[in-house]
Each structure stands twice: as C-alpha cells, then as structure tokens.
C-alpha cells in the first residue's frame, strides 16, 4: 500500500513529500494511517514504535486523551475566528510563566516564523543588521538562516540554498558550536553592527550535540560585551529539557526565546518570548511587523494548553527522559566500539563513529551510510528511528513502559547481529 501511495504521491508532490527528510525513509517512505501512544500504524498495517514523534512535538505520544478531548471540544465550537480567544490568553500566561516570567509572547504558526520574527525583532530593537549563527544549527527554512560557513578565512556566511540572495546571507556570520573563540572572532568582525547571536542551546538538528561546559554562559558574556541580544532557539528544547527549557536547565538566560513543536501539542505552532521592552516593538504596539491569519489558531491553542497542563500536573517529562536514558544506554552498550550515543533528557542520537561527538564536524565525520542501514534495519524490526543521522530521536512519556523498552532493546539486539 505505501509503495502504491508513494508512486502516486510522486506524480503530484515534489519528491513525493512536503518536507524533504520524509523522503529519506528507506527503502521508500511508509505512509501512516494512525498513531496511539508510542506507536504508529502504517498503511501496510505495520505497528512501529515511534522515536521520531513528528520530529519533536509529541511529548505525550500520539493521540493523547487529554489533548484529543480539548481539540474535539474546540472543533465542536468552530476553529477560526480572527479574534482573540480565552485559550490564547491562558496558554500565553503559562508559556510566559514557565519560560520568562514578566515577559510577553507572540504566537505564530511554525518554528520558522518564530526565528524569522525573533531575528527581525532583534534587528528592530538594536538598530543593527548582522547576526551570528552556528554551523550545524537549524532555525527553519527562511533566508536569514539558510546560510552556511563561507571560505575558511572569513566569518561571513554564504547561502546554503539556491534562491537565497548573497546580500542576505552576507548579514549572517557563521561561528563554530562549542568554540567560543570562533564566536568572539565573528563578533569582532560584526562589531557594532551585531544585532543578535542565535543558537540551539542543545543542537537537535545534527543528531544531538550538547553544549560544552560554559559554552552558553560564554555566549551570554559575548552578547553582553557587544550589546547584542542572545536568542535561544528552543523550538525543540522548550518544555522538553524542563518546563523552563534550556534556559532553566543550563542556568543561562537568553534575551529572546523561540518556541514551537511541543507548545502546539502536535498542531502547527511557533512562538517568540522576550521581555516587554523588546516584545512591545512588535505590531500593533511597535514598528516591527509581525502578523498571521492563523496565529494563535484556536485548535492549536487548545492542544497546546492541554499538553502543558498534563506536563505541569504529571511526571510526563521525567518519564520521557527515563525512557530515553534506558534505550540510549542499551544502544550504547549494544553498539560498543561501533557507535557513540549523545543524550540530553529525552533527546538522543547514535553516531557510527568511535570517538565522542562534541561538534557538528565530528557528527558529519561519522558513518552516515551505517546510520541509514541502522534506520532501515530498525524499521524492519518494528522501530521507527529518524531516517537521517542529522535528526534527533525523541521519546514521549508513553515510551516509559516495559513493553516498549523491551521491544526496542530486542530490535537493537537483532540489528547489531545483522549489521555488517
């Protein structure tokens, strides 16, 4: 069935998909007709344990009852009003309360929109143009951040997509993650035109790469020194590492935090959070433009609110982390000498390389073909892990179950014995 659907899809959709990583699933993308808890059910009636979880949002697993109830309730009353709603205010209060007490939030529709808005806001606030991003960090699909390192001798970025103007990429300097000297160099080059430093506090888009000790604090210091803003892109880490996200987890404060994924409970969402002095520059209060037909969509707000209420009132976050700990420790011992594993709470990834992976360059140097085989073999044994080395594996609260963990470990054992 999936095979036929994919053949049909390729006639009408570019590459048969609507987001590129989905096309990497081997031997061809499977189509899904349902999900519950930690499981996906494919059109071929396979039941897979899901470590992709929509690429991050589903911290409570698929079709969580509390979320489902609130979404259905909302849908019964309509789903788009073009006016503010009660749930929007309630979710705003919770998000701000956890992430930046005293601050304000703007809801948008994706992480991409969140980082785009955050960067425009930082430029509007500082009156400066340049930003520093990190090689290996992903902040969505817009021009400001589709930039990669240029020639070795320069901090200036170059487009990493056709269609991104050189002139736009030239405003983005690219530094090396976990290398404060490179950040200091880039900041010096940008000088008094540096508006912001944007970073994934834990990289979740190069596999998983945690920050070195004092790296985030070092970024804070450099941002202060240059009077630039520090933007934590917490689209993955927000409400996953802790209720206060990476800021709370690592004890370092950002000026602007971008959120997405989890706060929409599995519906499209993004958010920007900062202190009022910064946020009030956004339209309608200020001159920095931000708008959206679907911003704070009532169904998204209902799902996000239900999700955060469950996280507040249960041990869901720690269950997700414990599941990840068990599975990743098992994987590490099963693949001893062949792969190394990075984990921060409920996000982890294997790299087929001997040494520890502490930088994006080390992640790129690992055996990606071995990873792709791992993905394909795991799927044959009933486990869906990301098709790309450069994604994170995620667990939900529902993965903390003896069955799920035992079945995953059995799959890992089989794959180790089959892999060449």
Ligand X SMILES: *Cc1c(COP(=O)(O)O)cnc(C)c1O
Q: Which residues are catalytic?
A: 138, 233, 261
Buried b (16+ CB within 10 A) or exposed e, 292-320: eebbbbbbbbbbbbbbbbbbeeeebbebb
Q: Which of residues 244-263 bind ligand X (CB under 6 A)?
A: 260
| Residue of 64, 74, 110, 321 interacting with ligand X (CB under 6 A) | 110
Please give the distance of CA 57 from its chain centroid, rounded to a whole number.
8
Q: Which of 120, 139, 176, 343 binds ligand X (CB under 6 A)?
A: 139
**What does 88-135 look like in DSSP terms, one character per residue?**
HHHHHHHHHHHH-TT-EEEEESSHHHHHHHHHHHHHHHHT--EEEEEE
Nearer to ligand X, 112 or 397 (CB): 112
Footprint of ligand X on residues 213-242 (CB under 6 A)?
233, 235-236
The smaller minimum CB distance to ligand X, of residues 161 and 227, is found at 161
Q: Is 135 in the site for ligand X (CB under 6 A)?
A: no
Binding of residue 140 to ligand X (CB under 6 A) = yes
Interaction of residue 48 with ligand X, rule CB under 6 A: no
**Which lies closer to ligand X via its Cβ, residue 108 or residue 222?**
108
Sign of torsion over alpha carbons 355, 361, 365, 371 = positive
Residue of the chain from 2, 74, 115, 321 that contacts ligand X (CB under 6 A) = 115
Least distance to ligand X, CB of residue 213, Å:
21
Least distance from ligand X to the Cβ atom of residue 264, Å: 9
Which is nearest to 95 in space by CA: 265, 271, 250? 271
**Contact region for ligand X (CB under 6 A) — 29-37, 106-114, 159-167, 396-404?**
106-114
In the complex, what is the shortest distance from the CB of residue 293 to ligand X, in angstroms, rounded to a whole number? Answer: 16
Shortest Å distance, C-beta 321 to ligand X: 18
Q: Is 117 in the site for ligand X (CB under 6 A)?
A: no
Nearer to ligand X, 235 or 302 (CB): 235
Is 138 near ligand X (CB under 6 A)? yes
Q: Contact, 40 vs 34, CB < 8 A?
A: yes
CB of 237 to ligand X, least distance (A): 8
Q: Name which of 300 and 408 has its Cβ closer to ligand X.
A: 300
DSSP letters along 201-238, please?
SSB-SSS-BPPPTTHHHHHHHHHHHTT-EEEEE-TTTB
Is residue 103 close enough to count as binding ligand X by CB under 6 A?
no
Terminal Cα distance for the chain, rounded? 30
DSSP for residue 268: S
Our finding on whether 120 is near ligand X (CB under 6 A) is no
Strand order in the sheet with 104-108: 104-108, 270-274, 256-260, 229-233, 194-199, 130-135, 172-176
Size of the site for ligand X (CB under 6 A): 15
Q: How far is the CB of 263 from ligand X (least distance, A)?
A: 11
Q: Supply the minimum distance, in Å, between the C-beta of residue 124 and ligand X.
A: 20
Contact letters for ligand X, residues 270-289 (x by CB under 6 A): x-------------------
Query: By CB neighbour count within 10 A (0-12 exposed, 13-18 middle, 19+ buried), where does 42 fall?
Result: middle
345 makes contact with ligand X (CB under 6 A): no
d(CA 194, CA 13): 40
Q: Is 57 in the site for ligand X (CB under 6 A)?
A: no
- By beta-carbon distance, which residue lies closest to ligand X? 111
How many Å apart are CA 200 and CA 190, to the nearest integer?
Answer: 20
Q: Quick one: which of 61, 111, 211, 386 contacts ligand X (CB under 6 A)?
A: 111
**Cis amide prior to 264 (ω within 30 degrees):** no
Cβ distance to ligand X smaller for residue 235 or 383: 235
| Phi, psi (rounded to 5 degrees) for 361 | -60, -40
E strands of 234-328, at which residues? 256-260, 270-274
104 touches ligand X (CB under 6 A): no
Non-local CB neighbours of 32 within 8 Å, separated by 6+ positions: 40, 41, 42, 43
The values of phi and psi at residue 233, to 5°, are -85, 95
Which residues, 168 to 207, sit near ligand X by CB under 6 A? Answer: 200, 204-205
Q: How far is the CB of 61 from ligand X (least distance, A)?
A: 19
Applying CB under 6 A, which residues contact ligand X?
110-112, 115, 138-140, 200, 204-205, 233, 235-236, 260, 270
């Amino acid at each position: 069935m999936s095979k036929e659907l994919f053949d049909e899809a390729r006639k009408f959709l570019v590459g048969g998909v609507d987001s590129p990583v989905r096309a990497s699933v081997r031997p061809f993308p499977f189509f899904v007709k349902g999900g519950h808890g930690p499981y996906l059910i494919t059109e071929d009636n396979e039941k897979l344990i899901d470590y992709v979880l929509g690429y991050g949002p589903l911290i409570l697993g698929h079709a969580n009852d509390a979320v489902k109830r609130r979404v259905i309730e909302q849908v019964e009353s309509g789903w788009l009003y073009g006016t503010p709603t009660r749930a929007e205010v309630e979710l705003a209060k919770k998000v701000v309360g956890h992430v930046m007490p005293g601050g304000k939030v703007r809801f948008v529709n994706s992480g991409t929109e969140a980082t785009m808005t955050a960067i425009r806001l930082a430029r509007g606030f500082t009156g400066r143009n340049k930003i520093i991003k990190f090689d290996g960090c992903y902040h969505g699909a817009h021009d400001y951040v589709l930039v990669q390192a240029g020639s070795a001798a320069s901090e200036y970025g170059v487009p990493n997509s056709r269609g991104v103007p050189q002139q736009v990429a030239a405003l983005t300097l690219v530094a090396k993650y976990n290398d404060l000297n490179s950040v200091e160099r880039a900041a010096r080059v940008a000088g008094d035109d540096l508006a912001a430093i944007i970073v994934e506090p834990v990289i979740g888009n190069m596999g998983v790469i945690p920050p070195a000790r004092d790296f985030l604090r070092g970024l804070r210091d450099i941002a202060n020194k240059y009077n630039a803003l520090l933007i934590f892109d917490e689209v993955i880490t927000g409400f996953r590492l802790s209720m206060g996200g990476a800021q709370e987890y690592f004890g370092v404060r950002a000026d602007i935090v971008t959120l997405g994924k989890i706060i929409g409970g599995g519906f499209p969402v993004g958010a920007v959070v900062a202190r009022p002095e910064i946020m009030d520059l956004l339209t309608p209060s200020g001159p920095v433009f931000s708008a959206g037909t679907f911003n704070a969509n009532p169904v998204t707000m209902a799902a996000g609110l239900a999700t955060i209420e469950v996280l507040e009132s249960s041990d869901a976050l720690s269950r997700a982390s414990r599941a990840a700990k068990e599975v990743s420790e098992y994987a590490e011992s099963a693949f001893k000498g062949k792969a190394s594993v990075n984990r921060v709470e409920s996000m982890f990834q294997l790299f087929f390389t001997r040494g520890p992976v502490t930088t994006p360059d080390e992640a790129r140097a690992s055996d990606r073909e071995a990873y792709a085989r791992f993905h394909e073999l795991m799927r044959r044994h009933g486990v869906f892990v990301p098709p790309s080395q450069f994604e994170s594996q995620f667990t939900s609260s529902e993965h903390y179950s003896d069955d799920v963990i035992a079945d995953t470990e059995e799959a890992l054992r089989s794959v180790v014995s089959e892999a060449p």
